[in-house]
Amino acid sequence: MRRQRKAKIIATLGPASSRPDVLEKIVQAGVDVFRLNFSHGEHAEHQARFETIREVEAKLGRPIGVLMDLQGPKIRVGTFADEKITLEAGAQFRFDMDKKPGDQTRVSLPHPEVFAALQPGASLLLDDGKLRMRVDKCDENSADCTVEIGGPLSNRKGVNLPDVMLPMSPLTEKDRIDLVYGLEMGVDFVALSFVQRPEDVAEARKLVNGRAAIVSKLEKPQAIEHLDEIVALSDIIMVARGDLGVECPPEDVPILQKRIIKACREAGKPVIVATQMLDSMVSNPAPTRAEASDVATAIYDGADAVMLSAESAVGKYPIETVSIMNRIMVRVERDELYFRLREASRPDPEHNAPDAISAAARQVAGTIGAKAVVTYTTSGSTAYRSARERPEVPILGLTPKIQTARRLALCWGVHPVFTRDATNFGEMVGIACDVAKREEFADNGDSLVITAGVPFGTPGATNILRIAWLSGRG
C-alpha cells in the first residue's frame, strides 16, 4: 500500500462509496483519509461508515484517517406561500422575523443575529450567490433591500453575508451534539465550518480537548483578515472554495488559495484544497482538462492534500475519480518544475533543536542518497516537522499510537506505520530498519536517516539524528 506520491487524498463518503467492497477499492486507488459530512445523514449512518472504514483498515494493514465535517451555522430564508418567487433587478424586498410564509415583497429570515450585525450598504447573497441584494435600511427585526441581481428564490435557500462579521459561534447546538457523538466514535479530525475569527478555533479546541485534530475551514472573507492567528491556533487548514467563492469575487479565489497555502507552509501546518476539484466526474467518467489543471495547480502550490466531495459521495464514478486524481498528483510530483517550486518555497527552520534536526535530516538524506527519513513519534510532531522540510525521499512515520498513525495519514510525504513501542534508541533503530524493509522502502545495503526525541514520549522533543544501514552497519 505504498503511495507513489507525497500529497494526500481525502474523499467524502456517501451512498456511492459506503459499501465495503467499493470503499476498499477507493483506498487501493489512493484515498488516505475519509470525510464524514455531518450536514447530511443520521448518526447511525455515520457510525456504519466509520465501522466499515476500520474494517477495511484492518484488512489492508494501512492506517486510515477519518474526518468529521461539522455543518456549522447555516443561514436560510423561510418558506413562501407559493414555494417560489421571481425577483427582478431594482425591486424592493424585505427580510423580517415574521414566521408566516413569504410573498413577492418579503420573507422570513429567522436569525436575529443577522439583523443585529447588518448595516446599510451591506450585501446579501442568496442561493449560492445567484441573487444579490443591497441593504437600504435595517433594524433589529427587519432589513429593507434593493435587488441588484434578480432571479428565482425558493424555500429555505441559503444566505451569505460577505460584508458582515456575525456575532455567532461556528458551533450550533446540532454541531455540539454531533461533536460529542463523533469524538466518542473515534474520529481523527474535526472540521469547523464558517470560522470567522481566532476565538472560534479556541472555543472548539476546548471542547475537543486533544481528542482529535482541529481543521479550520476558511470560507468567509472575515477569516482571511485573521489568517495568521487562525493558522496558529489550528492543526490543519482547509481552503473551502465553495462558500469562499460565493462570498468573494471569483477572481480573488485563486489568489486567496495561494495566500492561504503560503501561510500554512510557513507555519508548518497541513493545508487542504477542497470543493469541485473534479466536479464533472459526478456524472462523467473523465474530468475536464480545466479540472485536471485545478488539481495540478493545488499540488504545484504546495497543498498537503486535496479533497473530493460529491464526486466520491454521490457520483457515478467514485473509484475512477480517485484513480484519476491520484494519477494527476503522481505526474505533477515527478515534474522538474514541481521540484523547483518545492525547493524555492521551503520556509526557513525555526531557531530550535527540533527544526534544526529535521532540516539536517533532509540535507543528510539527500547527500548520502538515503531511501527514507524515518521519524519515531508519539504525538506526530516529529513527522510534521519533517514534512515541513519537504524532503525528496519518503518519510516513514513510526508510532506506537494508532491514533497518531491515523492523523499522520493526512501529513504530506508521510507513510504512517503503527508499530510496537521501543524502550531505547538502539531498539528503535532496529524497528526502523525492519519496517523500512517490510514496507519495501529499503533493502540490505540501503541507508536511512532516523530522527526521534529522547526521552521517548515527550511531544516535540526531536533531538537525535542517526544514519543507519540495513546491512547491519551503523
Q: How far apart (Å, rounded) are the C-alpha atoms in residues 257 and 264?
A: 11
pLDDT at 426 (0 to 100): 87
Per the model's pLDDT, the better-predicted residue between 462 and 417 turns out to be 417
> What's the pLDDT tens digit per position in 362-404?
999 999 999 999 999 999 999 999 999 999 999 999 999 999 9
pLDDT at 82 (0 to 100): 94
Start-end of H helices in 89-165: 112-117
The confidence band for 198, taking pLDDT boundaries of 50, 70 and 90, is very high
In the chain, pLDDT over 70 holds for what percent of residues? 99
Q: Three-class SS of residue 148?
A: strand
pLDDT at 452 (0 to 100): 86
> What's the pLDDT tens digit per position in 65-116?
999 999 999 899 999 999 999 999 999 999 999 999 999 999 999 999 999 9
Whether the pLDDT of residue 185 is over 90: the answer is yes
Q: Report the chain's mean pLDDT, rounded to a whole number.
A: 94
336 φ, ψ (degrees, to nearest 5): -60, -35
pLDDT at 264 (0 to 100): 96
Start-end of H helices in 221-252: 221-225, 227-233, 241-247
Q: Which three cell numbers stand for residue 151?
A: 432571479
**Which domains does the chain possess?**
8-72+169-340 (3.20.20.60), 84-160 (2.40.33.10), 353-469 (3.40.1380.20)
pLDDT at 473 (0 to 100): 46
Name the residues annotated as catalytic: 35, 76, 217, 275
For residues 341-349, average pLDDT: 91
pLDDT at 422 (0 to 100): 85
Scored b (16 or more CB within 10 A) or e, 295-305 reads bbebbbbbbbb
> What's the pLDDT tens digit per position in 3-16?
999 999 999 999 99
pLDDT at 460 (0 to 100): 63
> What's the pLDDT tens digit per position in 28-40?
999 999 999 999 9
Whether the pLDDT of residue 441 is over 70: the answer is yes
First-to-last alpha carbon distance for the chain, in angstroms, is 28
> What's the pLDDT tens digit per position in 396-436?
999 999 999 999 999 999 999 999 988 888 899 999 999 99
Whether the pLDDT of residue 471 is over 80: the answer is no
Whether the pLDDT of residue 217 is over 80: the answer is yes
pLDDT at 308 (0 to 100): 98
CA 469 to chain centre: 36
Q: Three-class SS of residue 26?
A: helix
For residues 41-66, average pLDDT: 97
pLDDT at 296 (0 to 100): 98
Amino acid found at 415: H
Least Cα distance to 283 among 307, 309, 318, 325 occurs for 318
Scored b (16 or more CB within 10 A) or e, 126-136 reads bbebebbbebe
For residues 288-315, average pLDDT: 97
> What's the pLDDT tens digit per position in 233-249?
999 999 999 889 898 88
pLDDT at 168 (0 to 100): 87
Least Cα distance to 438 among 378, 374, 393, 363 occurs for 374
> What's the pLDDT tens digit per position in 115-142?
999 999 999 999 989 999 999 999 999 9
Q: What's the pTM value of the predicted model, to 2 decimals? A: 0.93
CA 22 to chain centre: 22
